[in-house]
C-alpha cells in the first residue's frame, strides 16, 4: 500500500495560511534610519518601559523609531476636522482613482442590503407597509446613516491599500530584475549597486507590510459600520437583547447587512410577536383591557356627598333618601330596614322568650 504524501515540514502541516497574514519582522519595519537620512527628516527613538530584572534579554534588539508626521498629511487632517458632522465619508477624486472589478466586489461601492426578517419585524413594529432603507425612528436612523459613512470610508481604504500592496510587490520585482545587470558593471561599482538593490527590496517589503496593515485597519472600519447599522435595525425590531447580541456578532459576508444565518436564529424565538408574525406564525392579538372611566383620560362627574342629600331631604319635607338619591348616601346601596333592627317579633331577642 503506497504511503500518502506528507508535508516536508511539520510546521507547514499545522499552519493555516488563512488564519494569519504574512508579516515581517517588526524590528526591520521600524529600523528606517537610512530612509530618514535620505529624506532629511528627524527621527526619535521610542522609549519603552523595561523591567531591570529582564533587560538583559533585549540588549541586541534595535531601538524602535518614531517618524514625524508629514506636513502635507497634517494639513489635510486639520482641514477635514473643521466640519466633522457634515463631512462627506469619502473624497470623490479618490473614488475615481482606485477601482476594483465591480462584478465580483460590488460591496466596495454600494451599501449592503438590509434585507432580513429583522428588517421586516422592525417595519411591523413601526407600522410601515414596506421596510425603508433606514429605520423610521429618529435615533436609530441617525445611527444607520453614521454606519453608512463609516462603511464607505473603510471600503475606500480597502481599495487604496489593495493598490498599495500591488505597487509594493511590483517595486520588489523591479529591484529583483535589475540585479541581472550587476555583472555588467565595473568591479568598483558592483558592491555599491548590490547595496542599493538590496535597500530597494527592503523598502518594498516594508511598504508591502504597511499596505497589509492598512487592509486590516480598513476591514475593521467596515465591520464597525456593519455593526452600527445592525444595531440600529435590531433596536427597532423589538427582538430580545440576548438574541440581538448573537445576531449582531454573526459574520459579515459582504452581500447583505445581516448574515444568512440570521433568519435561522430568529426561527427559535417564541416571545416576540412581531418577529413570529413575520415568520408566518399566527399569534392572536392581545385583548384590550377596559380601563375605568377615570383612567381613560376623561373627567368623572363628581357625586354630591351625603350632607347634601340630607339637607335636601329636610328641605323637601322629610322625603325618603331613596327617592332623593337612588344610590343612597355616598353612592352606596343600603339594605332596607327590617324588624330585626328594632327588636321586632322576628329579632333574635324575642325568639327565645316563652309566650304567655
Whole-number pLDDT of residue 102: 80
Q: What is the pTM of this model?
A: 0.64
pLDDT in tens, 281-329: 444 555 556 555 555 555 555 555 556 656 666 556 554 444 444 454 4
What is the band of 1 on the pLDDT scale with cuts at 50, 70, 90?
very low
65 - beta bridge partners?
45
pLDDT higher than 50, residue 8: no
pLDDT in tens, 89-99: 888 888 888 98
Q: Which residue has cell 527613538?
A: 45
Of 78, 64, 9, whose CA–CA distance to 31 is shortest?
Answer: 64
Amino acid at each position: 500500500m503506497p504511503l500518502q504524501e506528507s508535508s516536508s515540514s511539520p510546521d507547514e502541516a499545522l499552519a493555516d495560511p488563512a488564519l494569519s497574514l504574512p508579516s515581517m519582522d517588526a524590528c526591520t519595519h521600524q529600523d528606517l534610519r537610512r530612509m530618514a537620512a535620505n529624506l532629511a527628516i528627524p527621527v526619535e527613538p521610542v522609549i519603552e518601559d523595561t523591567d531591570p530584572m529582564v533587560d538583559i534579554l533585549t540588549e541586541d534588539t534595535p531601538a524602535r523609531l518614531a517618524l514625524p508626521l508629514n506636513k502635507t498629511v497634517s494639513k489635510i487632517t486639520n482641514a477635514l476636522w473643521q466640519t466633522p458632522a457634515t463631512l462627506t465619508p469619502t473624497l470623490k477624486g479618490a473614488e475615481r482613482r482606485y477601482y476594483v472589478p465591480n462584478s465580483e466586489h460590488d460591496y466596495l461601492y454600494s451599501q449592503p442590503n438590509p434585507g432580513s426578517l429583522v428588517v421586516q419585524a422592525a417595519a411591523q413594529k413601526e407600522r410601515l407597509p414596506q421596510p425603508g432603507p433606514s429605520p423610521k425612528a429618529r435615533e436609530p436612523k441617525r445611527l444607520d446613516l453614521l454606519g453608512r459613512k463609516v462603511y464607505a470610508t473603510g471600503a475606500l481604504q480597502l481599495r487604496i491599500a489593495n493598490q498599495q500592496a500591488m505597487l509594493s510587490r511590483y517595486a520588489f520585482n523591479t529591484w529583483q530584475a535589475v540585479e541581472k545587470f550587476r555583472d555588467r558593471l565595473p568591479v568598483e561599482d558592483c558592491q555599491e549597486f548590490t547595496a542599493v538593490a538590496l535597500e530597494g527590496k527592503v523598502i518594498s517589503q516594508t511598504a508591502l507590510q504597511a499596505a497589509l496593515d492598512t487592509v486590516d485597519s480598513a476591514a475593521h472600519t467596515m465591520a464597525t459600520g456593519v455593526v452600527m447599522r445592525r444595531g440600529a435595525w435590531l433596536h427597532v425590531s423589538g427582538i430580545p437583547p440576548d438574541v440581538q447580541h448573537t445576531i449582531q456578532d454573526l459574520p459579515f459576508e459582504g452581500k447583505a447587512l445581516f448574515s444568512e444565518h440570521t433568519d435561522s436564529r430568529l426561527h427559535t424565538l417564541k416571545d416576540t410577536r412581531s418577529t413570529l408574525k413575520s415568520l408566518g406564525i399566527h399569534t392572536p392579538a392581545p385583548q384590550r383591557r377596559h380601563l375605568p372611566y377615570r383612567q381613560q383620560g376623561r373627567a368623572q362627574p363628581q357625586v354630591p356627598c351625603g350632607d347634601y342629600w340630607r339637607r335636601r331631604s329636610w328641605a323637601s319635607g322629610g322625603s325618603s333618601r331613596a327617592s332623593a338619591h337612588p344610590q343612597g348616601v355616598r353612592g352606596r346601596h343600603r339594605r332596607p330596614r327590617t324588624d330585626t333592627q328594632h327588636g321586632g317579633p322576628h329579632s333574635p331577642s324575642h325568639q327565645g322568650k316563652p309566650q304567655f
